Amino acid sequence: MSTGERRVCLLTGASGTLGDAFCRAYYQDYDIVAVCRTRTPDTPSQLKWYVDPLAPKTPVPDNESRVFVVRADLTQPGEVERVVDLALARFGQVDLLVNNAAQVRLHPRGIVDGDAALEQFDPHFALNVSVPLRFSARLAQRSWLHAGDENRSRNRNIVNVSSISGSEVYPGQTVYSASKAALDHLTRGIAAEFAEFGVRANAIAPNSFPALVPTERVAQAIAELDASSLSGGVFGVGVEPEELAGSRRVGLDAESY
């Protein structure tokens, strides 16, 4: 169970570039349920803990780990529900849901070059749209729906990790971009529905990272949205406003976002 002093974050895609950076930057601020399919974050967890070389026989404080790793293939039936149940059993609550796991397959020769784009449609929408929808719905049904006062007092919210590709057209990204555009509007819909019981929802739409924007800056945007009172927005990270039609930049540091 959480001590109640730290916020509890359920983060998908924790084995990826952004997920790992978020865990390394914020594992001392949050209790993190790190959902991974392959690699695990390079942070203390029940799978990895610092052993004092001067006292190697001291018991490893597994129960105090701030990063709790759960391995899951979220596209398989029942896996989202299993992760939600494990998170609530472990910490008793979830204050921040970060939907970061994503499918990315580009088609540089376009969608008519063979059947690759057609075959990748379902995998992209399954992980990039359906999984965030399922996590949001299951957390609401099992924890948030009848806890409006607690939700508001703990400033509970969802941050979906979208992309500038959800607003702009880039060669070879048609299927990926369509899934991120769907995620952007899913975010707005969730924000409207969940306002009734005091849970916010936003999305970040970063430029390419780490090539064009530091990954740590993207992780910081997630933490800033968690600390804010914003809801219903899609916020660019490392992009100019004119590059993100219909969206906004994260406004806490106008020079950075």
Task: Give the tokens for residue 36.
Answer: 């991974």
- State the DSSP code for 60: P
Distance of alpha carbon 209 from alpha carbon 219, whole angstroms: 11
Distance of alpha carbon 64 from alpha carbon 197, whole angstroms: 31
Measuring CA to CA, which residue among 122, 130, 104, 132 is closest to residue 12?
A: 132
Distance of alpha carbon 105 from alpha carbon 108, whole angstroms: 10
Measuring CA to CA, which residue among 236, 253, 122 is closest to residue 184?
A: 236
- Find out whether 235 and 202 touch, Cβ atoms under 8 Å: yes
Q: Tell me which of 26, 27, 30, 176 is the catalytic residue.
A: 176
Sheet with 157-161, strands from edge to edge, namely: 67-71, 30-36, 7-12, 96-99, 157-161, 200-206, 234-237, 248-249
Please say if 50 is a catalytic residue.
no
Distance of alpha carbon 152 from alpha carbon 234, whole angstroms: 21
Residues classed as catalytic: 176
